[in-house]
Amino acid sequence: MKATVIESPIGPLLSCVDHRGRLLRLDLPKGRTVAELIRDAGSPDCDDGAGRHVARQIDQYFAGRLTAFDLEMQPEGTPFQMSVWSMLAHIPYGETWSYGELARRLHRAGAARAVGRANGANPIAIVIPCHRVIGSNGTLTGYGGGLATKRRLLELESARGENDPAAGQVA
């Protein structure tokens, strides 16, 4: 596993890719230093260039010039977690769904809490947009990167209109 530290407006992010360039993890800072991020990821080797594509897309996202990621990913989780993470990818940029709505779309209407736990275990933050899930009453609830980070990500996305011809394009 190779790691790349990506500087971002919310602090350093750590992307980890496998030998084939597939994104395995994108870790939020959660108040940690770069050294702590690397240690917590299992001390991966420093990047030899495999993570540049990830870093470029993350930079474009934070610059407001990318609304959909084009990255090969290989998250690890249970079949239920994988189904939740797959459904997260269907939440449109700039929109939010509640945990209950996400559970209903998975045909598991009574599983909002389980969906919340799976959402919280998402190993590829931002790219698999777990920040787009909110409480049923419209409030921001639990986010591994902290509610302030969740708010910033949602504000970034809401500032970009769908009618903007540059939305979704990578420079």
Active site residue 46: no
DSSP letter, residue 138 = S
Structure token pair of residue 121: 């275990």
C-alpha distances in angstroms, 150 versus 54, 80, 158?
20, 23, 12
Count of other CB atoms within 10 angstroms of residue 146: 15
**Tokens 């275990």, located at residue:** 121
Structure token pair of residue 127: 């790219």
C-alpha distances in angstroms, 91 versus 8, 42, 148, 162?
23, 31, 20, 14
What distance in Å separates the CA atoms of residue 93 and residue 68, rounded to the nearest whole number? 7
Give the active site residue among 130, 134, 153, 154.
130
Active site residues: 130
